[in-house]
Structure 1
Amino acid sequence: MESINLQGLSSASREERRERLIEKLHQLGRYPDKYRTRIWRILLGIPQNQQAFKEITSKGVDPAIKALLSKNLKSSDSKQRKIIDLLEQLRVFPSLSMLRYDRRITIEWIFHMIYPFVELLFDTNETLSFEIILSILFNWYQHYWDEFPNPSTKIMNVISVLLEYWDNELYTHLLSYNIKIQDYAWTMIKCSFARILTREDWLELWDHLLSNDEPSFMYFFLIAYILIARDVLLGMTSKRQVSEFFTRANIVNISKVLEISHKLEKETPLSISPKFDIGRYKPLSKYGKEYKLDYNASLTYHRNQQDDIRDWILEQEKEIIKKRTEGSGIVRRLFPSKV
């Protein structure tokens, strides 16, 4: 695979560096394994805030973490120490520290969510590993814990509205057998999509997710993955069948799924798009003794977008009504050879 020259990016702004890297991503389809961690650091604007990291690591050890790892990992697992460190640090993550739920269950959920990233970041220094994972939790999983341990109503509604809009036939079919969004979408999200993709496809997916300053793109990918499998899903009539399908790595053309994801993101009416509920990516603040998001990084974007949205929201809503009456015509545009 073609290499990427990262030296010329050091003097550029984060936006300029991001644009050049995305250009390479479009050319190559994915980032080279050799440079992936460095590229993710650039894309996420990782601050390497040693002061905040030191503050977190001084909090002590949670016994629930070691109890969890003894159940999930072999004592000789070389990644065990890395995961222990990360979980010890993540337990003070603001959204988690406020949870009034069994600590062991909370930690176990985080374990399954971050494990795919730990495998990638195993040889990376502690601060960088922690900040990459924390940036992902803050942005791509910001509403994940709203109703923990139950699926987030906000996230489920986002996915439900998108699926109903883009494929009403499939949406109705699944509901007719009492197969709800949380029966399949939540399964994919809570393991960071690692269960449904091969390792190589998973890396390519997250290259694209982290290159998109809109964390909501993750939900367009989820819908695209469901649509790719629509023929199979239309033949299913039980929760068990659907659950099994979404807990194994299926053979898919990941590049095609990502292509459809971008199409969905582009063509979804703003009135039902999750972009404004989820918000644009916000990097971690570079300074201070605790990790916070730098909200100033996206103020201009939101101000400009909100000036526009009022002018065309009614037009978009009319378009929704029109396309819903067309039934599966929307799917025909995405899959002309299938329907």
Structure 2
Amino acid sequence: MEYLYHLPPPPLPPCYLASSPRFRAFATTEDGTVMVAGGRTPLLHMWDLTSHQLMKAVELPGGVREVRQLIFPPHSWDGGTSKLLGVLAQDGVLRWLDMESYQLLTQTGSHDLAISHAHSSPDGHYLAAVSESGSVLIYEISLILRKINQSGVPVVKAKMCGKENDSVPPNKSRELARARKRRNGADRGQHTSLYKPAILQPPPAHSGETREVLGGARELDQRKLVAVLKAYGEYPAKYRAFIWRSLLQLPGNHASYSSLMERGTHSAYANLHRVYPIRSQRLGRVLQRSLSALAHWSPIFAETPYLPGLVFPFVKMFQNNQLVTFELLATFLTNWCVNWFDYFPNPPLNLLAVVENCLAHHDPSLLQHLISHNITSHHYAWPLMSMVFSEVLSRSQWLRVWDHTFSQPPGFFLLLTASLLTSSHSTLLHCTSQDDFQQFFHHPPALDVGVVIREAYRMQETTPPEIHPEKLLGSLVPLTRGTYPVFNKYPKFIVDYHGREREKIRREEEDYLRQRQGALEMERLRETRRAEEEAWFRQQQLLLEAEEERRKTLSLEDTRLTNQRARLMAMKRELQVKELKVMDATKRDFLHHQKRVKEARIRRLDDQIKKRVVQREVETQAALEEADLKALELERQRVQLQHQLARYQEEMLGQLDMEEEVEGRRASLERSEGGGRGRGWLRLRQMLQLPRSARGVWRR
């Protein structure tokens, strides 16, 4: 986001030239005309925001080395009669200055109490201060004002930068010391115990977020927290995370969260650092892990393009405890965003209609103006909701808004969206073009977040039940203990289609990267070969130069060798004759060797032929012996069969003789006994001990 204008750096007096201001505390008056800044030096720098010029630099009285916090109380503190500025120094004492005369009026707290933070209530009745011991101190503003008006203690005048202190007579120094001592004692006993709840005591100091701390957070009384919020407008910054965990009833499911984290980085957020660059690498890794855990928990969160912008403010606040970050986001998505995905990938038309109905009821003229310029809820409500007001509010304003949002039912978030629009009624009525509205909804002017919150509470009480957001969203439903609930309130077929398309694109991208890597490898190889060729050409050039040098040297040697060529020719002829003789002898030796090789090859062939003849005779003899064995075996089988056949014939002949004998006896019995044939046959069978089947044989 670009800045609106640039404030020039302040000049430093000679005594502080060795160090830079390094501002750490800022405050702006209610009318927005003056901004005061302080840092690690005891100087206050004041800028005029209308002319964008440095007004002056004031050096604080003794005892102040650093400025930790600046407070501009509302005019309701003193009826708007003067401008007070509270300066919290490194010693834990809150000093009050008059902005007209730059004089020290009084101080709150002491070195023993050591205030670390202080905040004023919106109505200007109370001042809440948090000490370094963890206790909360409540001061009545009326007592502080009465002390300022009635104090007879001479004020210590702050000096302008570059000027000497007003001289203090020596006899007055002891009076000033005694007065300062009385004032410190009065401030030490001034704080009251009107409200010092145990819920704001610091949690136990452990190395990590333990179950005991979470258990203690769940025991906080929400009614008391809401009472504190309404009294002071926001929760103490030191205990804000602790209070949010209590309001949302985070379960602390370590095992379930670990199972989600073990799945690693989701493919949808693998290149998150390119799409959503963050200066802090550690914060970028925490954001990537949180988004991956949400995507593993429910597939819809891998397809939601605005999810990184929605999640980032919460991740930045709880980056030191990723379990709390995930459970806070899961609670927010299942309660405040439960109906956001009914029309995915389009915005939630039902929730936008609720915002539009609230706007029509509470500010119909503004709605008519938006409609007349074709500005729908997609333009004026959805950007605020999808970015959870992070683009339109500063960090302190955003935290204050979410203090109230988490303390109320989920429908209060929609009322805040409508309230932010109605609070900017006059500004929006002056917008007439699409660019004006676009600029407002993404980069709006300075907003009074207190007015926005009060308007949201008024809408909560006056909105009719039929259009009230609580009718659609209901009340808070915390996460279940042990395992996280299933989140499937979205059109699954669209998400599945998007998942398939994303996987397809991922594969195509991998193929493209692979091909690109191959092309880069080929390019590197080509460059390497080109470098090698250049080196080779350089080497050849050097060789040519060396050859030229040698040629010159040889030309000189040729003249010396000319005289020796005659002698060398004679010697050469002799050498040729000797060489021819040696060649003839070598040729004869070679032919003789070839002859011996051929004779050895013929002998080797003869030996092989003999071996094969002997082998064939051996195989023939073995075959004949095997044939004789088979003939003997057949003869043995033939004799055995003949014996079996003779035995079988003898058995058949004996059986036939027995049958004939039996048939003769049966005939004689039939003739002798006539009707007693059956009994005679039985006696005959018993006498002969024949089987039952013999009767059938007899009949046959």
TM-score normalised by length of structure 1:
0.77
Preserved contact between residue 117 and residue 133 of structure 1 (Cα < 8 Å): yes
Q: How does 1:228-247 map to 2 (within 5 A)?
A: 228-247=423-442
Preserved contact between residue 272 and residue 288 of structure 2 (Cα < 8 Å): no
1:98 Cα deviation after fit: 4.7
1:78 Cα deviation after fit: 2.6
Secondary structure of the residue aligned to 1:148 is coil
Match for residue 286 of structure 2? Answer: 82
Which of 255, 258, 261 aligns to 1:51? It is 255
Preserved contact between residue 261 and residue 293 of structure 2 (Cα < 8 Å): yes
Note the residue ranges of structure 1 that are not aligned, 5 or more in a row.
Answer: 294-339
Alpha-carbon distance in 2 for matches of 1:245, 1:221: 17
Preserved contact between residue 199 and residue 220 of structure 2 (Cα < 8 Å): no
Which of 234, 254, 262 aligns to 2:449? It is 254
Note the residue ranges of structure 2 that are not aligned, 5 or more in a row.
Answer: 1-117, 119-128, 131-135, 137-197, 204-212, 488-700
Preserved contact between residue 44 and residue 135 of structure 1 (Cα < 8 Å): yes
Alpha-carbon distance in 2 for matches of 1:146, 1:14: 32
Match for residue 205 of structure 1? Answer: 401
Q: Deviations over 1:42-63 (max 9, x none)?
A: 0100100122212322333223
Match for residue 24 of structure 1? Answer: 228
Alpha-carbon distance in 2 for matches of 1:190, 1:156: 11
Alpha-carbon distance in 1 for matches of 2:430, 2:474: 36
Secondary structure of the residue aligned to 2:271 is helix
Alpha-carbon distance in 1 for matches of 2:410, 2:219: 16
Match for residue 321 of structure 1? Answer: none
Name the CA shift for 1:245/1:143 in 2 (closer, same or farther; >3 Å).
Answer: same
Secondary structure of the residue aligned to 2:221 is helix
Match for residue 540 of structure 2? Answer: none
**Structure 2 residue 199 is the aligned partner of structure 1 residue 6:** yes
**Structure 2 residue 333 is the aligned partner of structure 1 residue 129:** no
Match for residue 372 of structure 2? Answer: 176
Alpha-carbon distance in 2 for matches of 1:75, 1:12: 36
Alpha-carbon distance in 2 for matches of 1:63, 1:275: 37
Q: Deviations over 1:123-145 (max 9, x none)?
A: 2x221111011111111111122
Alpha-carbon distance in 2 for matches of 1:114, 1:194: 10
Q: Could you tell me which amino acid in structure 2 is paired with residue 52 of structure 1?
A: S
Preserved contact between residue 198 and residue 249 of structure 1 (Cα < 8 Å): no
Preserved contact between residue 197 and residue 250 of structure 1 (Cα < 8 Å): no
Q: Deviations over 1:11-64 (max 9, x none)?
A: 989586111111111222111111111110001001001222123223332233
Name the CA shift for 1:217/1:151 in 2 (closer, same or farther; >3 Å).
Answer: same
The higher relative CO (CA closer than 8 Å, separation ≥ 6) is in 1
Q: How does 1:74-153 map to 2 (within 5 A)?
A: 74=278, 77-94=281-298, 97-98=299-300, 103=302, 106=304, 108-123=305-320, 125-153=321-349
Secondary structure of the residue aligned to 1:60 is coil
**Structure 2 residue 486 is the aligned partner of structure 1 residue 282:** no
Question: Identity of paired residues, percent?
Answer: 27
Match for residue 73 of structure 1? Answer: 277
Total equivalences in the alignment: 283
Match for residue 244 of structure 2? Answer: 40
Match for residue 485 of structure 2? Answer: 291
Match for residue 329 of structure 1? Answer: none
1:250 Cα deviation after fit: 2.7
Name the CA shift for 1:28/1:155 in 2 (closer, same or farther; >3 Å).
Answer: same
Alpha-carbon distance in 1 for matches of 2:310, 2:366: 28
Name the CA shift for 1:134/1:282 in 2 (closer, same or farther; >3 Å).
Answer: same
Choose 1 or 2 for highest CA Rg.
Answer: 2
**Structure 2 residue 469 is the aligned partner of structure 1 residue 265:** no
Q: Could you tell me which amino acid in structure 2 is paired with residue 56 of structure 1?
A: L
Alpha-carbon distance in 2 for matches of 1:7, 1:267: 33
Q: Deviations over 1:55-101 (max 9, x none)?
A: 3223332233121222322475230111111011011343xx157xx
Secondary structure of the residue aligned to 2:306 is helix
Preserved contact between residue 167 and residue 227 of structure 1 (Cα < 8 Å): yes
Name the CA shift for 1:277/1:228 in 2 (closer, same or farther; >3 Å).
Answer: same
Secondary structure of the residue aligned to 2:479 is coil
Match for residue 388 of structure 2? Answer: 192
Which of 234, 243, 267 aligns to 1:63? It is 267
Q: Deviations over 1:130-188 (max 9, x none)?
A: 10111111111111222233211111111111111111111111111111111111010
Structure (1 or 2) with the greater strand fraction: 2
Structure (1 or 2) with the greater helix fraction: 1
Alpha-carbon distance in 2 for matches of 1:17, 1:247: 37
Q: Could you tell me which amino acid in structure 2 is paired with residue 257 of structure 1?
A: V
TM-score normalised by length of structure 2:
0.39
Match for residue 361 of structure 2? Answer: 165
Alpha-carbon distance in 1 for matches of 2:461, 2:216: 28
Alpha-carbon distance in 2 for matches of 1:76, 1:98: 27
Alpha-carbon distance in 2 for matches of 1:28, 1:183: 33
**Structure 2 residue 421 is the aligned partner of structure 1 residue 217:** no
Alpha-carbon distance in 2 for matches of 1:32, 1:292: 34
Name the CA shift for 1:155/1:93 in 2 (closer, same or farther; >3 Å).
Answer: farther
Preserved contact between residue 266 and residue 296 of structure 2 (Cα < 8 Å): no
Alpha-carbon distance in 1 for matches of 2:455, 2:364: 17
Alpha-carbon distance in 2 for matches of 1:215, 1:62: 29
Preserved contact between residue 419 and residue 453 of structure 2 (Cα < 8 Å): yes
Preserved contact between residue 260 and residue 297 of structure 2 (Cα < 8 Å): no
Alpha-carbon distance in 2 for matches of 1:252, 1:228: 8
Q: Could you tell me which amino acid in structure 1 is paired with residue 317 of structure 2?
A: L
RMSD: 2.3
Moved over 4 A (4+): 7-16
Name the CA shift for 1:93/1:145 in 2 (closer, same or farther; >3 Å).
Answer: farther
Name the CA shift for 1:292/1:28 in 2 (closer, same or farther; >3 Å).
Answer: farther
Name the CA shift for 1:86/1:167 in 2 (closer, same or farther; >3 Å).
Answer: same
Q: Could you tell me which amino acid in structure 2 is paired with residue 136 of structure 1?
A: F
